Structure 1
Amino acid sequence: MAIPTPLPRPLILASTSIYRRELLERLRLPFSVVSPGVDETPHPGEPPVDLSLRLACAKARAVASLHPGSVVIGSDQVATIDGSPIGKPGSFDAALAQLQSMQGKDVMFHTALAIDDGVTVRTAVVDTRCRLRALTTRALTAYLHAETPYDTAGSAKAEALGIALMERIDSDDPTALIGLPLIATTRLLAQFGLDPLDHLSTGDAA
């Protein structure tokens, strides 16, 4: 069985999101988690894509400044309908209203990634377009009680039962919608000398 070998530099995920942590674990690289403590308030008139990228960079930079020599991953996601951002609902009523407003519409999720080692910053933004099915209030209520996705932008947890809300998903990276685009993450980590496939050991040859 392939196991990770020690990394030349510590890897840190600048996020306390369990979803991002679980995604990064797929790459089998040892990493630690540090809360970035960044103010996520949008700037007046700030476009959603710019907001997601600014926050991803701010998260990575905040943690990198406290951990010299480390490679830090920051990520942020902003969901929009017709160009207007929609946030995390926080409650059942807000989530239901959010999902009802999204029926039959395209929802765009801008997922930004920044990797910062204190010297160099590399970034990427992956867009995911989701079309939601037209569903009854009863179906939406059942979903919300089953999944309680109140900490998820757009209320649709596609990694779980939220996939049943979808008519289609269009993206270059299926993990971007969950919160961390692993294809882009792998590509950027390789530029910092942390390609996941370079840090696997298959053990002694037979």
Structure 2
Amino acid sequence: MNPVSDPLSTAERTPPNRPLILGSSSRYRRELLQRLRIPFEVASPDVDETPGFGELPGALAERLALAKARAVAAAFPGAVVIGSDQVADLDGQPLGKPGTHEKAVAQLRRMRGQTVIFQTAVAVVCLESGYEAQSLAAVKVKFRALTDDEIENYLRAEQPYDCAGSAKSEGLGIALLESIDNDDPTALVGLPLIRTCRLIQAAGVKLLSPQGSQA
């Protein structure tokens, strides 16, 4: 498992005492973490995301976020590792990434006119320091009563097949929604940055420092 360097230039980086690694293959989470302007690397965790029998969506998101952080931390024990996962919760039933157009159509037909809770979990692990913590952000979303044509037009334009519940809210997916209720605005996109900041600060990562240095 080799971390991929973040897009910040060498001149913008201050070598940290304890590296920060985003344990995710999601480009959306990588883009979100870049907003903090701190140096980080990316490593993809190898984790089975199959839900357990009867596992509720929030519990599934928390379990997978922690499993991802632990998997990457095992390879980089001196690093502070962020893991995250998102599961759409429709009446207690988990909806993950559709993967195909047909599955995305089925998901959106089920969700139209309904209130869906997007359960987004973040976990932070550092094996060397013994730090481990996690948090769950629940985003309540009301979908419009979408027509079949609107669903097809949205999917053809956005192709959100790697998004939980097929809802790419930072793009055209915002047009699917009637309302959003949450306390962490970035959670719906895939990484709750308010919670992430709190957890990585507790792990020793400095925020809002002149060059994004870490303790």
TM-score, scaled relative to structure 2 = 0.89
1:200 equivalenced with 2:210 (yes/no): yes
1:92-129, CA deviations, whole angstroms, 9 ceiling, x for partnerless residues?
A: 12211211111110011111110000111011000001
What is the aligned partner in structure 2 of residue 108 from structure 1?
117
1:89 equivalenced with 2:98 (yes/no): yes
- RMSD across aligned C-alpha pairs, in angstroms? 1.4
What is the aligned partner in structure 2 of residue 44 from structure 1?
53
Give the distance between the partners of 1:15 and 1:158, measured in 2 at CA.
Answer: 19
The total of aligned residue pairs comes to: 199
1:126-176, CA deviations, whole angstroms, 9 ceiling, x for partnerless residues?
A: 000100111221111111100001111111100111001110011111100
What is the aligned partner in structure 1 of residue 40 from structure 2?
31
Per the alignment, in what secondary structure is the counterpart of residue 78 of structure 1? strand
Structure 2 stretches of 5 or more lacking a match? 1-11
Q: Percent identity?
A: 56
Residues 127 and 171 in structure 1, CA contact (< 8 A), matched pair in contact too: yes
Aligned mate of 1:6, from 15, 22, 27:
15
1:13-49, CA deviations, whole angstroms, 9 ceiling, x for partnerless residues?
A: 0001000000000011111111110111111122221
Give the distance between the partners of 2:75 and 2:21, measured in 1 at CA.
Answer: 11
What is the aligned partner in structure 1 of residue 4 from structure 2?
none
1:135 equivalenced with 2:146 (yes/no): yes
TM-score, scaled relative to structure 1 = 0.92
Aligned mate of 1:190, from 173, 193, 201:
201
Aligned mate of 1:56, from 49, 65, 68:
65
Give the distance between the partners of 1:41 and 1:6, measured in 2 at CA.
Answer: 37
Ranges of 4+ aligned residues in structure 1 off by more than 4 Å: none
Give the distance between the partners of 1:24 and 1:201, measured in 2 at CA.
Answer: 15
CA shift at 1:4, angstroms? Answer: 5.2
Structure 1 stretches of 5 or more lacking a match? none
